Structure 1
Amino acid sequence: MTPTAAALTTLSPAGLPTARRSARLRAAAPAGYRPEPRAALVCAAILLGGLLFPSEAAIKAGIVLTSLRIALLVLLPWSLMVLGRKLTRGGYVPVMSDVVVLLLVLWMELALVVTQGPAAVASASGLRPVEFLSAYLAGRCLFGTRAGLEPFARVLLVVAGILLLMAMIDLASGENIFARIARQVFGVDRGALYMTQYRFGLPRARASFEHAILFGTFFATCATLLYHLLDSPTLKAAAVALCLAGALSALSSAPLLAFMLFVGFVTYDRLLCHATWRWTAFVGVLLYGLAMLLLLVDDPLRTLIDLFTLDPQTGVYRFLIWEWVAYNLQASPFFGIGTRDWVRLSTMVSSVDALWLAQALNAGYVGTALLALSVPSAFFVWTPRATPRRDDPWHAQARKALTIALVQLCFISFTVFFWGTAWAWFALLIGIRAGLSEARYLGPAARGEDGAGGLAARLPARLARPAGAALRRPLAEEVRRADA
């Protein structure tokens, strides 16, 4: 008896209704969660495409709506829908940052109500926590797996190239020309902080960003992400060179130091790539160096400022800001002072050049603590039961990239205030890191590594067909004929 005849004997007419009934039951059962790479590509284009329009290209509708804010408001319901699918179809594993970020957003809104009144929730300051939540959820739900992060990296490379071209036009024109054109077209003047700034007689490029230092910060972190997430060595080298040019065009110390951090991390990692103790040793040496600096140097902060800034006077000025912010918080340590002007010397401007200080003024020490906790909490997962880890080299590489990028942002944040684009970028990277932490406990289907979102989708149809499919085809044809 041939194999086909034996198979037909096994599938008797009496057994066919049972087979059909089983197929109907499987179809009626809820499908497991599966990410959608094409949707992630569209979302990445919407979100990162919002970075290409100048912050002055805004519409006043009670509050100033920039292209990035509009993109975040569009993606918020999309991200919530994906989160609902994850919760109902078994694709959700709790990460500590989910709770911390929610508490942060609620506390920031509560602090506004306490210090400014309920009407402040509908202002631009009230939209700031919503921006953080939307960007975090987008990273958490849309780009937290390989199926979402690979399209994100491709779009990011294109957007970074366009932004660098805009920066070169800024330098060639001698001013932030895109900002000036947007002000003339939209008629939105966002203050002297958004005007062209110069250093060493050269204009500081910022393209579509709110400030040159935020523009350079973006490129410093992009170098880390693109280096680790792109596959081609040629693309890696081109992306790093592109990001270095972007960081240099901002003419700012903090982005250049952050780029040097990236180079140092990568060099150290490549030299000791087979040593499992390399990061433990790195942290130990770093702590030892800081201890020696504090013990042996009379004025360690002033020494660091003199060594690692292009203009040491700017560092001294930032140190003075820290002292005056602490003075302002003595009366309201928990909720801060909201958006009210803060007490300072008459020679000081109102800008607070540190993310943590501005957060403390707006939401008190509690808001600052929650913001600080949102970063490390993205690394820790609550598993409801003994769930096995499913590590693979690509996700390990992606987690390393996001960790280094967050270290860069935290380093810069002590001398730079993140608002607008940089604020959303910070939340987005925290969300992606949380998604990658969750991905370690998801199955292949929930990570998009099989079926439509996995490797099979990137292979030719002949190679993507499972082994043995040609042998099973005659049997499948006979079953369909019997059903008919």
Structure 2
Amino acid sequence: MTTPRQQPARHTGARRLAQGVGKALPPMPVTLLLLSFTLPAEASISLGSLRLSAYRIILIVLLFPALGRLMQNRRVPPAAPDMLICLHGLWAAMALIVTMGLGEGIETAGIYFIETFGGYLVARAYITTPDRFAAVVRLIFTVTAVLLVFAVMESLSGVHILREPFKAVFGGPGPHKIEPRLGLTRAFTSFEHPILFGVFAASAFSSTYYVLCGGLLNGKTVKKVMVVVGATFFSLSSGPFVALAFQMGLVGWDRITRGVANRWTILLSMFAGAWMVLTLLSNRSPVLVFISYMTFSAASAYNRVHIWTYGSAEVARHPLFGIGLNDWIRAPWMSSSMDNYWLITTMRYGIPAFVFLVLTVVLIARAQGRARRRDPFVKNCAKAWLVTFMGFALAGLTVHFWNALMVQFFFLIGCGMALTKVPATARPGQRGIAPNTVNGARVPISANPIPPGIRPQPKGQPSWA
């Protein structure tokens, strides 16, 4: 019989997390911002040519207070990623002004900076600990579960239950008609397109598994992740499906290779090997091969291949500042829609904007990897952030993020900074302190792990210090 003392640390930490961590709501500014993502686009006000949605108003109000909080953050003070993401927003804003002129460009530039740097900044200022990150995960899962109810009704009835009433009250174009798939209506819920709803739902998968379920595979975990899978399904969009499957694959690899040395290096080597094989054996680049198979139909695959061909040509012609929101050169039969977030970002704002964004994520992931995390909870939070971002990044090859989803994307990047430092204060068995120990010495299970007045001391420091 396995006693509590003999249970693996990863299980005890995971159960503690699943039972009590992150049940509180995130800080109020964050809660309001996340809930504003679920308001339909019709719930907006117009000031001339400027559309002010709920999340834009919140970001404008919070911009300077959040900046002040960041400057006073002693736990994770301002660092290189903060500067890089700010440079991304500033460079994109400058590119819009250069390519479109002061009259039209400055308004668009201001909105883009608010949505990108502002979304990142709110997370950076208010999500400062793993516990607060867990609270964000719980709120996003709750929102996804609620939206699933509307998605099911919308998909089966063909009536857009959320957007139509808001259109009747506030006006606006309302949801546009999209051909059904598998005999079902593709669910918009509160988003501008089913594919945006699908990416939003799919992004909750790995964080639900690692943070809310503690990385355990049991009946409770299956129920929770099936909520995310169900919400993603009713978008009936290939991009979210691929993002969800990719996250499942990474979670599966994490489970089956637990205890294997250098397992992530092995996985990266496998990806690199597959990339080289495709490069040598295919007459198309690996990116084109990947894009062409991430679709429901041959027509969509054909169109996305041409989007990559014409879009990358625009990048080559305008590498520094891009083309802004101006029209891009393409075949006469192609629409102006470009379903590739990474390509359209580079094409519109130039290669430097793309580089600043990618470097931000790389530095955050690197800082998380260098942090010494012995606590399963903090490790799970870091895994959740990285796998979620990778799912987002993969979906971005066939999806363009805009409006609320783009803000959520930058908000997620900002959340990653909270996981680059191990919390300074620790509770027994929760923050790097082994359970049932006092200053490194084991005590009976029934005893109070840390008697009143005694604090755990770092190695080499006397207990009376």
TM-score normalized with structure 2 length: 0.80
Query: Which entry has the higher C-alpha Rg, 1 or 2?
Result: 1
Amino acid at match of 2:425: P
- 1:394 matched to 2:380? The reply is no
- 1:366 matched to 2:345? The reply is no
Alignment of 1:296-311 (within 5 A): 296-299=281-284, 304=290, 307-311=293-297
User: Structure 1 residue 414: deviation in Å?
Assistant: 1.3
Conserved? CA contact 1:196–1:203, under 8 Å: no
Cα distance in 2 for partners of 1:245, 1:468 equals 48
The match for 1:426 is: 409
Alignment of 1:84-483 (within 5 A): 84-86=71-73, 90-120=74-104, 122-189=106-173, 194-200=175-181, 201-231=183-213, 234-299=219-284, 304=290, 307-381=293-367, 389=372, 391-437=374-420, 439-440=421-422, 443-444=424-425, 467-468=451-452
Cα distance in 1 for partners of 2:320, 2:109 equals 18
Amino acid at match of 1:274: G
SS in structure 2 at match of 1:52: coil
Cα distance in 1 for partners of 2:400, 2:452 equals 59
The match for 1:24 is: none
Cα distance in 1 for partners of 2:71, 2:354 equals 29
Cα distance in 1 for partners of 2:34, 2:261 equals 36
Cα distance in 1 for partners of 2:255, 2:449 equals 37
How many aligned residue pairs are there?
409
SS in structure 1 at match of 2:162: helix
SS in structure 1 at match of 2:154: helix
Conserved? CA contact 2:133–2:418, under 8 Å: no
The match for 1:79 is: 66
Conserved? CA contact 1:140–1:432, under 8 Å: yes
SS in structure 2 at match of 1:202: coil
SS in structure 1 at match of 2:191: coil
Cα distance in 1 for partners of 2:59, 2:157 equals 31
Cα distance in 1 for partners of 2:292, 2:266 equals 28
Conserved? CA contact 2:188–2:197, under 8 Å: yes
Amino acid at match of 2:122: A
The match for 2:436 is: none
SS in structure 1 at match of 2:331: coil
Return the match for 1:46 from 26, 32, 38: 32
Conserved? CA contact 1:95–1:380, under 8 Å: no
Q: Where do 5+ consecutive residues of structure 2 fail to align?
A: 1-21, 432-446, 455-465
Alpha-carbon displacement from aligned partner over 1:323-342 (angstroms, at most 9, x marks no partner): 22234345532111211222
SS in structure 2 at match of 1:117: helix
RMSD: 3.0
Alignment of 1:23-34 (within 5 A): none
Cα distance in 2 for partners of 1:408, 1:223 equals 9
Amino acid at match of 1:104: H
Cα distance in 2 for partners of 1:359, 1:295 equals 29
Cα distance in 2 for partners of 1:157, 1:407 equals 18
The alpha-carbon distance between structure 1 residues 69 and 221, as it changes in their structure 2 partners (threshold 3 A), is: same
Q: Which has the higher contact order (CA 8 A, sep 6+)?
A: 1
SS in structure 1 at match of 2:301: helix
Cα distance in 2 for partners of 1:237, 1:335 equals 47
Alpha-carbon displacement from aligned partner over 1:124-179 (angstroms, at most 9, x marks no partner): 45312211112212222322422311221221221111111121222133143422
Cα distance in 2 for partners of 1:388, 1:60 equals 46
Conserved? CA contact 1:120–1:126, under 8 Å: no
SS in structure 2 at match of 1:266: helix
The alpha-carbon distance between structure 1 residues 306 and 75, as it changes in their structure 2 partners (threshold 3 A), is: same
Cα distance in 2 for partners of 1:321, 1:54 equals 28
User: Structure 1 residue 228: deviation in Å?
Assistant: 0.8
User: Structure 1 residue 279: deviation in Å?
Assistant: 0.6
Amino acid at match of 2:167: R
Q: Where do 5+ consecutive residues of structure 1 fail to align?
A: 1-35, 451-462, 471-484
SS in structure 2 at match of 1:416: coil
User: Structure 1 residue 368: deviation in Å?
Assistant: 2.1
Conserved? CA contact 2:310–2:330, under 8 Å: yes
Conserved? CA contact 1:144–1:433, under 8 Å: no
Cα distance in 2 for partners of 1:354, 1:464 equals 55
